[in-house]
Chain A
Amino acid sequence: DQQVKQNSPSLSVQEGRISILNCDYTNSMFDYFLWYKKYPAEGPTFLISISSIKDKNEDGRFTVFLNKSAKHLSLHIVPSQPGDSAVYFCAARKQGGSEKLVFGKGTKLTVNP
């Protein structure tokens, strides 16, 4: 039962353009969402998060959008840089104070120079 789904295994974009990574979830009890980036042979690195009471959060080149009615969130990277090439994981937390994160399978982003 995949509660957090990243349906695109991979995405390729040109340097300088926008990268849009998508994530869908099925559990309406999720109240917090996070994006992590992972380079090969390293652990995941926290990027940005959003609470379910918001619809947008921005941090530099990274913006996360949340559409609760559609149970959909997206991560926008503008402008994309070759160093952004990595696997991106979407993760969610259930309300009620749980510390457990449920992760998607990840999307591999390649930014071409």
Chain B
Amino acid sequence: DTGVSQNPRHKITKRGQNVTFRCDPISEHNRLYWYRQTLGQGPEFLTYFQNEAQLEKSRLLSDRFSAERPKGSFSTLEIQRTEQGDSAMYLCASSLGVTVGAFFGQGTRLTVV
């Protein structure tokens, strides 16, 4: 399978705990994106990497959120001190350029209880 891989698929955590998600993009793609989707909404942009450089960040990405792509390959998204409002589907995508279409992974569904 050469698509975008996200792990874990599901995560249930208690409020106040830290969580980390991983995304493995399509190998030749230099661009990697994180989006968040809540019920009944479209995906909302969180951040974007070109290779290892984080070039765009949404103001949705509060101080509790951090994303890395240390070697320009896989990426991690960490949420510290989770809140119930963080419950959502976290989507990762990769591409060779947004105008040619990004390939999305299946997402990580986070539930904060």
Interface residues of A, Cβ cutoff 8 Å to B: 4, 32, 34, 36, 41-46, 49, 51, 89, 91, 93, 98-106
Contact = CB atoms under 8 A, between A and B. Distances in A.
B75 to A, nearest CB: 14
B106 A103 contact: no
Q: Main SS of the interface on chain B?
A: mixed
Q: Report, as a range, how many residues of chain B touch the other chain.
A: 20 to 34
A44 B93 CA distance: 9
B42 A100 contact: no
Interface of B: 4, 31, 33, 40-45, 48, 50, 55-56, 58, 91, 93, 97-107
Contacts of B44: 103
B101 A99 contact: no
B43 A93 contact: no
Nearest to B55: A99
Contacts of B33: 99
Q: Which of A34, A51, A91, A99 gathers most chain B CB within 10 Å?
A: A99
A44 B98 CA distance: 14
A41 B106 contact: yes
Contacts of A49: 99-101
15 contacts: A4-B42, A34-B99, A43-B4, A43-B93, A43-B105, A44-B43, A45-B104, A89-B42, A99-B31, A99-B56, A99-B97, A101-B102, A102-B45, A103-B43, A105-B42
